């Protein structure tokens, strides 16, 4: 009797083992979760949770495989159908989009034209940036066909590829809890400010199906901690690694690296409400005091390219040549003298009418290079007689709202939709992202024309004109475009660095433990 019991017990253990390792059929990978350590998730990035209708949260929705958009960018930043089957411009204000048959939300519900309409209707109601980009005046649904009337038809398909365009099940709710139902290969179990836990969507509508059962996304903003976590096997994939750590992984057979150029630019915005900065000569002097080549070659350790514009040349969004403002402290001093800053106080700071040239520089620390840039600029301005007070805080948004800054430095993706309109409209027009309150009537006319221009060559020509005016007015200093690199365990497959850094955790992810 005992022998039969032992045989039965052994058989049960064998069955459990076979189920665990997938021998009895195609199952998702069990055991330990796949862990992704990144600097790009957290409150300072405004992307905690998965509700794409909330600010920039859509970046997490799409990055971590919870949601998908109607169109997806290829590696050349061209939008291609994803949840959509096709689209057609009916006239200059009407676009007809056909949704693929067989697409389902992660709760099993079919994605119909009506579901897409409900999602986009709500997006337009609550998301200020999306409403400004899409400019939709009407949406009609008939079966799988969605007909959109918009005042921004030329850029509609590109803009629908933005993370806020993730299609979610409005009937499922979850908006208030920031935990929505999308169409992606992963579902959210739970999340906090520093962590997101995901489970594979076993009924994912597309192929391949996800094979990694559990994924944990960790916000690791300290570079040394991120480095050690990958070295020690605590994480399997890292984004935002300090450049000083790259040699530890380059040529190391235990790891792999995948890189691509991006439109993420390190920029410095001038506050046009600051009296001293209203003088073009002061802004130009500061521009000459920023050593872009040293920033790209030394502080970014060659992982960036100096620039004079918000867009990389490789994106072909403009045609003119924009020479970089070279580092020239002598020229900067001449400009300040012309602007009337001729006297110096006992501390060597320039004065005008008895007032010292003291400016407040604001940035944040989530991107490790930003405080380094601030320190470099502070040193250069000190040499030409400008006292620069630097504030590094993750609560920078509050400081911006209060207007308690003169220069604001951040790192931003300028062409997330493969088009110039998004950045130019938000940073030069009437928008919260125009932090420095720059306005130029000629630029605003060109922006309006850009929103109604369909042909790409004409859009490039308009972008060129706008950039020429910006180069003259200097509302921003553009320092360098960043190269994005993912570093991973050698056993990780299906992870690819993309110019937009949207598509990171996908159904193609695999990992041999």
What is the value of pTM for the model shown?
0.72
17 pLDDT tier (thresholds 50, 70, 90):
very low
Domain that holds residue 411: 261-484
Give the three-state DSSP class for 117: helix
Residue 76's pLDDT is 77
- Residues 403, 503, single domain; the answer is no
- Residues 229, 269, single domain; the answer is no
- Residues 312, 374, single domain; the answer is yes
pLDDT in tens, 48-96: 999 999 999 999 999 999 999 999 998 878 889 999 999 999 998 999 9
- Residues 179, 58, single domain; the answer is yes
CATH of the domain at 144: 3.40.190.10
Judged on CB neighbours under 10 Å (0-12, 13-18, 19+), 236 is: buried
Residue 31's pLDDT is 63
In a domain, 245, yes or no: no
What percentage of residues in the chain have a pLDDT greater than 70?
94
- Residues 333, 219, single domain; the answer is no
368 pLDDT tier (thresholds 50, 70, 90):
confident
In a domain, 20, yes or no: no
pLDDT in tens, 311-364: 988 788 999 999 999 999 999 999 999 999 999 999 999 999 999 999 999 999
Give the three-state DSSP class for 97: strand
Category of 482 on φ-ψ map: left (φ > 0), alpha (ψ -120 to 50) or beta:
beta
pLDDT in tens, 464-476: 999 999 999 999 9
pLDDT in tens, 257-308: 999 888 999 999 999 999 999 999 999 999 999 999 999 999 998 889 999 9
455 pLDDT tier (thresholds 50, 70, 90):
confident
Residue 199's pLDDT is 98
In a domain, 163, yes or no: yes
Residue 366's pLDDT is 84
DSSP bridge partners of 350: 344
Work out the average pLDDT over 92-114: 97
- Residues 49, 187, single domain; the answer is yes
- Residues 101, 202, single domain; the answer is yes
Residues in CB range of 397: below 8 A, 6 or more apart: 46
Instruction: Using the predicted structure, report yes or no on whether residue 7 has a pLDDT greater than 80.
Output: no
In a domain, 442, yes or no: yes
How many CB atoms neighbour CB 257 within 10 A?
16
Residue 271's pLDDT is 98
Give the three-state DSSP class for 157: helix
Report the alpha-carbon distance of residue 379 to residue 393 in Å, rounded. Answer: 20
Contact by Cβ (8 Å): 270, 407? yes
pLDDT higher for 504 or 133? 504
> Read out DSSP for 169-215?
-GGG--TTTT----SSSEEEEEE-SSEEEEEE-TT-SSSSPP-B-EE
In a domain, 11, yes or no: no
How many domains are contained in the chain? 2
How many CB atoms neighbour CB 314 within 10 A?
13
> Mean pLDDT, the chain, as a whole number?
92
Report the alpha-carbon distance of residue 264 to residue 158 in Å, rounded. Answer: 17
- Residues 310, 406, single domain; the answer is yes
117 pLDDT tier (thresholds 50, 70, 90):
very high
What percentage of residues in the chain have a pLDDT greater than 90?
81
In a domain, 267, yes or no: yes
Token pair 């690296």 is found at 257
Q: Which residues of 493-504 are buried (b: 16+ CB within 10 A; e: fewer)?
A: eebebbbbbbbb
In a domain, 307, yes or no: yes
- Residues 287, 195, single domain; the answer is no
In a domain, 18, yes or no: no
Residue 23's pLDDT is 36
242 pLDDT tier (thresholds 50, 70, 90):
confident
What percent of the chain is helix, strand and coil (3-state, nearest 5)? Answer: 35, 25, 40
Instruction: Using the predicted structure, report yes or no on whether residue 107 has a pLDDT greater than 80.
Output: yes
- Residues 275, 214, single domain; the answer is no
- Residues 471, 501, single domain; the answer is no
- Residues 332, 462, single domain; the answer is yes
Alpha helix (H) residue ranges in 81-138? 113-126, 128-134
End-to-end, the C-alpha distance of the chain in Å comes to 40
Report the alpha-carbon distance of residue 277 to residue 495 in Å, rounded. Answer: 45
CATH of the domain at 453: 3.10.105.10
């Amino acid at each position: 009797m005992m022998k039969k019991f032992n045989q039965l017990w052994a058989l049960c253990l064998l069955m459990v083992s076979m189920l665990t390792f997938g021998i009895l059929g195609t199952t998702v990978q069990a055991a330990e979760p796949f862990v992704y350590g990144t600097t790009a998730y957290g409150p300072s990035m405004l992307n905690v949770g998965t509700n794409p209708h909330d600010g920039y949260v859509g970046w997490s929705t799409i990055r971590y495989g919870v949601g998908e958009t109607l169109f997806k960018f290829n590696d050349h930043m061209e939008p291609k159908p994803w949840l959509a089957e096709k689209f057609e411009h009916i006239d200059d204000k009407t676009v007809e989009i056909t949704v693929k048959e067989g697409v389902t939300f992660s709760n099993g519900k079919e994605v119909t034209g009506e579901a897409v309409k409900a999602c986009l209707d709500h997006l337009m109601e609550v998301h200020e940036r999306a409403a400004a980009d899409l400019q939709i005046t009407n949406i009609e649904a008939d079966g799988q066909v969605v007909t959109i009337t918009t005042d921004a038809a030329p850029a509609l398909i590109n803009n629908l590829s933005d993370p806020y365009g993730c299609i979610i099940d409005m009937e499922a709710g979850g908006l208030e809890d920031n935990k929505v139902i999308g169409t992606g290969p992963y579902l959210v179990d739970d999340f906090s400010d520093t962590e997101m836990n995901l489970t594979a969507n076993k009924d994912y509508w597309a192929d391949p199906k996800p094979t990694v059962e559990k994924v944990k996304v960790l916000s690791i903003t300290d570079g040394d901690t991120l480095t050690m976590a990958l070295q020690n096997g605590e994480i399997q994939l890292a984004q935002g690694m300090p450049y000083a750590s790259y040699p530890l992984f380059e040529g190391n057979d235990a790891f792999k690296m995948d890189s691509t150029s991006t439109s993420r630019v390190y920029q410095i915005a001038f506050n046009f409400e600051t009296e001293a900065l209203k003088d073009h000569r002061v802004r130009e002097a500061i521009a000459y005091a920023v050593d872009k080549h040293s920033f790209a070659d030394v502080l970014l350790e060659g992982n960036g390219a100096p620039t004079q514009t918000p867009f990389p040349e490789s994106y072909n969004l403009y045609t003119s040549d924009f020479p970089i403002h070279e580092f020239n402290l002598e020229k900067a001093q001449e400009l300040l003298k012309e602007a009337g800053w001729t006297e110096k106080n006992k501390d060597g700071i320039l004065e005008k009418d008895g007032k010292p040239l003291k400016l407040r520089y604001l940035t944040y620390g989530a991107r490790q290079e930003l405080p380094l840039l601030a320190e470099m600029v502070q040193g250069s301005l000190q040499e030409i007689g400008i006292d620069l007070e630097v504030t590094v805080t993750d609560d920078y948004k509050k400081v911006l709202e209060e207007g308690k800054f003169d220069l604001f430095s951040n790192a931003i993706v300028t062409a997330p939709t493969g088009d110039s309109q998004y950045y130019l409209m938000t940073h030069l027009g009437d928008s919260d992202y125009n932090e420095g309150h720059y306005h130029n009537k000629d630029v605003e006319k060109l922006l309006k024309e850009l929103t109604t221009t369909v042909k790409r060559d004409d859009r490039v020509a308009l972008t060129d004109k706008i950039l020429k005016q910006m180069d003259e007015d200097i509302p921003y200093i553009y320092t360098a475009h960043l190269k994005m690199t993912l570093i991973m365990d050698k056993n990780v497959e299906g992870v690819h660095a993309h110019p937009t850094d949207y598509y990171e955790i996908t159904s193609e992810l695999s990992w041999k433990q």
